[in-house]
Amino acid sequence: MYTPNKAKVALVQLGEQLRMARKRRQWTIAELAKKVEVSSPTIMALEKGEPTVSLGLFVSALWVLGLETELLNLANPTDTEGIKLMNARLPKKIRISKKALDNDF
């Protein structure tokens, strides 16, 4: 599976942040694995930022750590780049339709 370098860096950073969140709670890898209902090697892969770990597992680990609300920031409606692209596709003018309304139900 091909993973772009920037994506690899982001996964490693996310894994490191999850590791720090686990350590702040003074949980072992085995304790987090039990709470997420996966094996310890899977949690180790998660914390290393391995691209083969499923997104569902990342979300589950965030939920167990009480950090799931951070996911809402990923697709934030205030995404400035997305808003620019959307605004570029808006029509220049909006015209009233000349079709007669059919109110007969």
Domain ranges within the chain, ordered by starting residue: 5-67
Strands (E) located in 9-88: none
pLDDT beyond 80 at 73: no
Residue pLDDT, tens place only, 11-63 = 999 999 999 999 999 999 999 999 999 999 999 999 999 999 999 999 999 99
CATH of span 5-67: 1.10.260.40
Q: Which of 64, 78, 83, 74 is nearest to 21 (CA)?
A: 64
Q: Where are the beta strands (DSSP E) in 1-105?
A: none
Other beta carbons less than 10 A from residue 26's beta carbon: 7
